[in-house]
Structure 1
Amino acid sequence: MATTTSDADFRDFHPEISVSQSPSHDGLEFWQFMIAGSIAGSVEHMAMFPVDTLKTRMQAIGPSSCPSSSLTLRQSLGSILKLEGPAVLYRGIAAMGLGAGPAHAVYFSVYEYSKKFLSTENRNNSAAHAVSGVCATVVSDAVITPMDMVKQRLQLKSSPYKGLGDCVRRVLVEEGIGAFYKSYRTTVVMNAPFTAVHFATYEAAKRGLMEVSPESASEDETLVVHATAGAVAGALAAAVTTPLDVVKTQLQCQGVCGCDRFSSSSIGDVVRSIVQKDGYGGLMRGWIPRMLFHAPAAAICWSTYEAAKTFFQELNAKNRPFE
């Protein structure tokens, strides 16, 4: 999950640290900021990978082509565990492991550079933050989309690929390098409203939770508030953007394991095809596991990110004992 964070958000966690003390947030060096984001993104995706596998299976093939895809989340999980074993829930995790870290590092670095360039003297320029977030999303999605495509193909039932390397090689030979980016436009279009809904909801939920919390809340309690707000925001944003996520999955898995193949990468063409075959309900396939993925994923990402920042802050403090 690509996530932007404003100066105010960081000061909420550590009000004693002024942004003006460092060109990066919370007094961290630039490379430390990148590493913290990379770790948070990797942990988030690795921890929730089994739920992501369920979502991919439910979205890839519609009930008109495969009746078993209309099973409930519990039935789908039970079927996979019984017929294929628990290990299959983690098939493709290597692809996500290779993509999530670099993508999040690129995201945070592009966001920082863009914000510094666009904000000029006003570091609280909301418009600059928004544009920087879009720039970061466009670039980071270009990094993660190929590995996300490989990951989803490996997650499919009876996937014809032996593993990460075999999938990459066969796609290059049989479909060409363009196949890795057929869903790129959809991914960017999906992540724009996802980010907007996520942060609007996050800020509202955070304010609401802080109003019922004591003013003297401890740091641990504040972290719980942010994690809870993040979970609510992640769940809502996931539900709202599920149709685009279904389109993305269909484009990335087309022609594999019975999935439909499309003549173009047009979002409109794919939407019309899904509606024609499965009705408008087909656009919401996998919305429950998608919400179950993004809600805890957002909480995990925030918690991990803050833990990494705290580690680097303590490290920097030890290295600057006389400042």
Structure 2
Amino acid sequence: MAADASPKFRDPEFPEFHPLDLKISHDGLKFWQFMIAGSIAGLVEHTAMFPVDTLKTLMQARPCAAPTFTLRQALRSVLTHEGPIGLYRGITAMSLGAGPAHAVYFSVYELCKEFFSNPNPNSNNSAAHAVSGVFATVASDAVFTPMDVVKQRLQLRNSPYSGVVDCVKRVFREEGFRAFYASYRTTVLMNAPFTAVHFSTYEATKRALMGFSPESANEERLIFHVTAGAAAGALAAVVTTPLDVVKTQLQCQGVCGCDRYTSSSTGDVIRTIVSKNGYAGLMRGWRPRMLFHAPAAAICWSTYEASKTFFQELNTSKKHP
């Protein structure tokens, strides 16, 4: 048979290739270990900061013609009408999307960093880190965008959906499969520069901090990751807020009074927002977005690096029992 994979027909000089066994030389971890480390980091990050993300969504998803909705007003509204549990609407959808998306995100980043920074992936090559980040976000957004649509619709006050399954079924039936990816182009346009700024700032800040105190780099490693991650997250969040507003508008259109757009064009949505709210409308939610991404990035990077350290020690112990 053509598909016979019996061992007697295999050439020993060409061993079977398993992508998940691929080892990335600069950190000595296998591909699947990067995926698990990234998945853990993403889940910890998004779970810890989810209430802030809910407030950001509420501020950005309001109709373009609606009055300004401040962070304090958004928080008061949720607590008054739903209590603290209202801050966690949609967390199941986030969990289903964030784990796989971050697994893809960090594993692609590490692979690209090794390729573009050859021969020294740990060099201070900001351009290589930025390009690697862009490749990583394009891949991970393809995984996360559908669940992000579900998450944001569930986060809206008086959401018409009873849960993740109900939302997926109704969106698919009423709007079609394309609705899950209506914001994908905008998401990539937002996350490509976000990730480029994020990764390059993170790597540069981390190395600068280690340069100030090289003798204590090992002891203060966690502090370096937290500080560099927070700085990277805050800067990238503010720079890309306008595109995040467009993404939220596209994902929540037609739900709970949100504006519906005849086109998923980023430019058309921007023109609509500016015509109704001025350029200030494109900065809706920048405070909670920055409050989310600064600590979220610190949590994500420190968790990711801690997970990598765990796997590195595990691999070493297997080599030298």
TM range (shorter): 0.7 to 0.9
Matches of 1:318 and 1:237 in 2, distance apart? 38
Report if the CA contact (8 A) 1:55-1:290 is conserved.
Answer: yes
CA separation of 1:161/1:288 partners in 2, compared to 1, >3 Å: closer, same or farther? Answer: same
Q: How far off is 1:319 after superposition?
A: 1.5
Amino acid in structure 1 at the alignment position of 2:252: C
Matches of 1:236 and 1:112 in 2, distance apart? 22
CA RMSD of aligned residues (A): 2.2
Give the 5 Å matches for 1:283-322.
283-321=282-320
Q: How far off is 1:120 after superposition?
A: 6.7
Matches of 2:173 and 2:159 in 1, distance apart? 17
Amino acid in structure 2 at the alignment position of 1:292: L
Counterpart for residue 55 of structure 2: 54
Report whether the alignment pairs 1:188 with 2:220: no
Counterpart for residue 175 of structure 1: 175
Report if the CA contact (8 A) 2:97-2:148 is conserved.
Answer: yes
Structure number with greater Rg is 2
Counterpart for residue 155 of structure 1: 155
SS at match of 1:209: helix
Q: How far off is 1:24 after superposition?
A: 4.2
Amino acid in structure 2 at the alignment position of 1:223: L
Report if the CA contact (8 A) 2:137-2:195 is conserved.
Answer: no
Of residues 75, 78, 81, the one that matches 2:76 is 78
Q: How far off is 1:277 after superposition?
A: 1.1
CA separation of 1:46/1:110 partners in 2, compared to 1, >3 Å: closer, same or farther? Answer: same
Matches of 2:263 and 2:185 in 1, distance apart? 12
Structure 2, unaligned stretches of length 5 or more? 1-22
Q: How far off is 1:118 after superposition?
A: 6.0
Counterpart for residue 270 of structure 1: 269
Matches of 1:117 and 1:215 in 2, distance apart? 27
Which deviates further from its counterpart, 109-118 or 176-185? 109-118
Percent identical residues: 73
Which deviates further from its counterpart, 179-188 or 78-87? 78-87
Counterpart for residue 8 of structure 1: none
CA separation of 1:57/1:192 partners in 2, compared to 1, >3 Å: closer, same or farther? Answer: same
SS at match of 1:99: helix
Report if the CA contact (8 A) 2:129-2:200 is conserved.
Answer: no
Report if the CA contact (8 A) 1:32-1:312 is conserved.
Answer: yes
CA separation of 1:33/1:181 partners in 2, compared to 1, >3 Å: closer, same or farther? Answer: same
Q: TM-score, normalised by structure 2?
A: 0.85
Matches of 1:315 and 1:200 in 2, distance apart? 29
Matches of 2:217 and 2:211 in 1, distance apart? 14
Matches of 2:116 and 2:210 in 1, distance apart? 31
Q: TM-score, normalised by structure 1?
A: 0.85
Cα-to-partner distance string for 1:86-142 (whole Å, 9 max, x where unaligned)? 111111011110111111112233344555666676656766654443332212111
Structure 1, unaligned stretches of length 5 or more? 1-21
Matches of 2:206 and 2:24 in 1, distance apart? 26
Give the 5 Å matches for 1:1-323.
23-62=24-63, 64-65=65-66, 67=67, 70-114=68-112, 123=121, 130-212=130-212, 214-217=213-216, 219-321=218-320
Matches of 2:302 and 2:117 in 1, distance apart? 27
How many pairs align?
Answer: 297
SS at match of 1:257: coil
Report if the CA contact (8 A) 2:227-2:298 is conserved.
Answer: yes
SS at match of 1:48: helix
